[in-house]
Copies of this chain bind each other. A is one copy, B any other.
Amino acid sequence: MTRPEPPIRLLIVDDHPIVRDGLRGIFSGDPDVEVVGEAADGAEGVARASDGAVDVVLMDLRMPGMGGVEAIRLLRDRAPRVRVLVLTTYDTDADVLPAVEAGATGYLLKDAPREELIRAVRAAHRGQTVLAPSAAEKVLGRMRAPAAGSLTDRELEVLRLVADGTTNREAARQLFISEATVKTHLLHLYDKLGVRDRAAAVSEGYKRGLLG
């Protein structure tokens, strides 16, 4: 007879107790998956997943304290064998790309059906990449538009000013537009570059040859 596989040891990391309970419930009916712990933020998640007793982590991204992306980075270092499956509400470039680059094995949205979630955990455990369609789109989009001028002229102007240390207010004056518009351009280019702040945007700008 076939020896039963040991269950997949799953850690749930999410700041909302209700979500954690819901996830627990979903997996409680599955003998192949055992929820071995929960954590309410990234730091706790890293701590619990670093002891070798976890196979897969279901990781939320936006959490108070240490966020998911940082946690994933740390886990790549401290527990490389742990697979991290991102499970979050958002699928913007700025969420998906950093998470994938940090080393997430998969990326699902919280509106995914239960079955898909269960299948994804199994797939992640086998090391397979599981991307929600919208997340896959972002990743591919990133590949397709690698360096090119994905930024509009105006966005590039703003980025250049920011790289020179101008504040939003100063940039607005120099471009003869309002500060609100500068912020809008920034938010757009953050999304396009897959970053969350001006410093990282400048860095991406250099990496892609937009600045320099």
Residues in A lying within 8 Å of B, measured CB to CB: 43, 66-67, 70, 74, 98, 162-167, 170, 173-174, 195-203, 206-207, 211-212
Q: Which residue of B lies closest to A193 (CB)?
A: B165
Pairs A-B, 5 closest by C-beta atoms: A165-B200, A163-B203, A198-B199, A206-B206, A202-B202
Complex: chain B residue closest to A198, CB-CB: B199
> B173, A43: Cβ atoms under 8 Å?
yes
- Chain B, residue nearest A200 (CB): B165
Q: What separation, in Å, do the CA atoms of A171 and B195 have in the docked complex?
A: 16
Least CB distance, A76 to chain B, in whole angstroms: 12
A selection of 20 A-B contacts at a CB cut-off of 8 Å is A43-B173, A66-B173, A70-B170, A70-B174, A74-B174, A98-B165, A162-B199, A163-B199, A163-B200, A163-B202, A164-B203, A165-B199, A165-B200, A199-B201, A199-B202, A202-B202, A202-B206, A203-B206, A206-B206, A206-B211
Which B-chain residue is minimally distant from A73 (CB atoms)? B174
User: Closest chain B residue to A160 by CB distance?
Assistant: B203
Q: A206-B212, A212-B206 are in contact. Are A200 and B164 (CB under 8 A)?
A: yes
Q: Is there contact, CB below 8 Å, between B164 and A70?
A: no
Q: How many copies does the complex hold?
A: 2
Distance (whole angstroms) from the CB of A192 to the closest CB of chain B: 14
Q: How far is the CA of A43 from the CA of B173 in the complex (A)?
A: 9
Instruction: List chain B residues, Cβ under 8 A from A198.
Output: 197-199
Distance in Å: Cβ of A206 to nearest Cβ of chain B: 4
Which of A163, A199, A211, A212 has the most B CB atoms < 10 Å from its CB?
A199
- Which residues of the partner chain B approach A195 to less than 8 Å between Cβ atoms? 165
Q: In the complex, A203→B166 CA distance in Å?
A: 12
**Given A66-B173, A70-B173, A165 and B203 contact (CB-CB distance below 8 Å):** yes
Chain B residues contacting A170 (CB-CB under 8 Å) are 66-67, 70
A206 contacts across to B, CB distance below 8 A: 202-203, 206, 211-212
What residues on B are CB-neighbors of A199 within 8 Å? 162-163, 165, 197-199, 201-202
